[in-house]
A and B are shown apart, each in its own frame.
Chain A
Amino acid sequence: MLELLEITGIATLQDSGRRGFNKFGVPTSGAMDWYAYQAANSLLNNPANSAVIELGLGEITFHSLRNTVLAVTGAGYEVENYIWTFPLWTSFYVRAGWTVRVKKTSGGNWAYIAIAGGFDSPVIMNSRSAYLRGGIGSALKTGDVLQSFPPASDLLKLAARDHTPLIPYSQTPTIDVIPARQADWFMLEGIRTFYESEYTLSPSFDRMGYRLQGMPIQKAITQELISEGMTMGSIQIPTDGQPIVMMADAPTTGGYPKIASVSRASLPLLAQCEAGVSRIRFKETTVEEAQSTYSVIARRVLSPTKQSQD
């Protein structure tokens, strides 16, 4: 049980997402950085779909009402636990009454705070992920008390573990993308611009989409297409030619042509890009290559971490 003492920025509970309702217009939601989310649960031997706190663009301070173990992952944060400072990608013991603060540094946007056992909250349409625009779940606020399930094993076995991420988090990331069906809606010049120039993230980004800024991409066809399904990572090119990458809370359908889609393996890299700071480049890959890279990376966090002390 955690009692939240202070929150700046946006904090919600997220899990691996809400599946089965896209056809009714409900976004998948779930963690913005799937790798950091899974790694936080894997550090604590939590079930793979356990809910964690996703913290974005601010800080959170809480204390635990019971002895527990927490794991914090992500990019752009550090942790103060009682009198110690911990880096991300570690698990640590928290005694009842200790104050824990997850502090913003630089180099990322999102932190994932997992608790041994996983947070317990109402399941709405098969998921604990908040989708604030749709009135599903709510933003965490000062005074909230979060319940959790019993831990998977003895607390002491779960504490003091670390994880070396397989994601090369960077301020100059190369993002692998798979060309989209409407790639021929763009001028060859526009395609070249997309793959050869640098983009930065606009400051107005959120869980719905990442608007990028850079050289505009010229289209060969200017009409809107008939709306069709889209997914996290789809890169739409609206009229002004500046790419928008659909993120976790993106609408399920859209009518702008898509130039490409970010590979799953690269989504965490993009999610953690800093507005105005990171210099983003895109590199074309094939669906087969993207799937094999994803499979290596995902297996690292989806299989239970070995118990370090037995």
Chain B
Amino acid sequence: MLKPLGDSSILIQLGDAIDLALNARVHALSAFLQTSPAVIETVPAYCTVLVHYDPLTTTYSQIKNLIEEKISLLDDSTHRPSRRLEIPVLYGGASGPDLEPVATTLALSPSELIRLHSEREYTVYMMGFTPGFPYLGILNEKLTMPRMSTPRTRVPAGSVAIAGSQTGIYPVDSPGGWHILGHTPLKLFDPTSETPFLFAPGDIVKFIPAN
């Protein structure tokens, strides 16, 4: 489904769920559309792709036709290979102040919680919130927790946290309402680097407990 978002963007909705196969299609379509000169940039999310274009060179009906054509050409061969990244995490203590309270709430031991959080491979469904923040999913359903009712005013960069069916890593010091389980020393965002971001949408991520 295609709908205008203002006069210089168009939103493509491929489904209405947080689902791995659907999200893979989102990333494939996003990458495929990026190759078109009429496309300024794309923003893949869970089940949508937002496409920015220049209305001075491309009208709404032109971009709509172009996208419809690209969607019809999209097949399994256009899926790009995913990168797999291993992220060391120091769980608990000062690095993960919410590990013990979350374990208590979920009726798990801290070590079970660490195992359940680190045993899965996650996918970067989308990025947003702050530069370089990966929304990773989907968590083992035993780890589903609502957000904190009062967000922290400062969550340190590198904090590995969970909320809902998602886990993520804070790239820069920022406010945040997710439960902090641990910390990674890796830098997720460096604006002056040739490669400013550790992650890209569609990457596969595995946490490696350091303790």
* Interface positions of A (Cβ within 8 A of B): 19-26, 124-125, 133-136, 178, 180-181, 226-231, 233-234, 251-253, 258, 261-264, 287-288, 290-291, 294-295, 298-299, 302
- Is A135's CB under 8 angstroms from B6's CB? no
Q: Identify the stretch in B90-98, B121-129, B148-156 within 8 Å (CB) of chain A at 4 or more residues.
A: B121-129
Q: Tell whether B172 is near chain A: CB-to-CB under 8 Å.
A: yes
Q: Identify the stretch in B66-74, B105-113, B196-204 within 8 Å (CB) of chain A at 4 or more residues.
A: B196-204
Interface of B is mostly: loop
For B49, give the chain A residue with the smallest CB separation. Answer: A229
- Is A226's CB under 8 angstroms from B18's CB? yes
A299 to B59, CA, bound (A): 15
CB distance from B115 to the nearest CB of A (A): 29
CB distance from B189 to the nearest CB of A (A): 8
Q: Tell whether B81 is near chain A: CB-to-CB under 8 Å.
A: no
CB distance from A261 to the nearest CB of B (A): 3
Size of the B side of the interface (Cβ < 8 Å), in residues, is 48
Give the residues in chain A near B135, CB-CB below 8 Å: 227
- Is B172's CB under 8 angstroms from A228's CB? no
Contact A23 to B201, CB < 8 A, known contacts A227-B46, A227-B126, A291-B60: yes
The residue that A180 contacts in the complex, of B3, B59, B127, B196, with Cβ under 8 A, is: B3
- Is A288's CB under 8 angstroms from B41's CB? no
- Is A226's CB under 8 angstroms from B60's CB? no
- Is B46's CB under 8 angstroms from A228's CB? yes
Within 8 A of A (CB), among B15-64: 16-18, 30, 40-50, 52, 55-56, 59-61
- Is B132's CB under 8 angstroms from A227's CB? no
A7 to B2, CA, bound (A): 46
- Is A226's CB under 8 angstroms from B127's CB? no
- Is B7's CB under 8 angstroms from A25's CB? no
Interface of A is mostly: mixed
A26 to B45, CA, bound (A): 14
CB distance from A25 to the nearest CB of B (A): 4
CB distance from A294 to the nearest CB of B (A): 6
A203 to B46, CA, bound (A): 34
Q: Tell whether B4 is near chain A: CB-to-CB under 8 Å.
A: yes
Give the residues in chain B near A263, CB-CB below 8 Å: 6-7
Query: Chain B 129-148, CB within 8 Å of chain A: the 1/0 string?
Result: 11111010000000000000
Q: Tell whether B162 is near chain A: CB-to-CB under 8 Å.
A: no
Contact A258 to B56, CB < 8 A, known contacts A134-B172, A228-B50: no
- Is B55's CB under 8 angstroms from A23's CB? no
- Is B55's CB under 8 angstroms from A253's CB? no
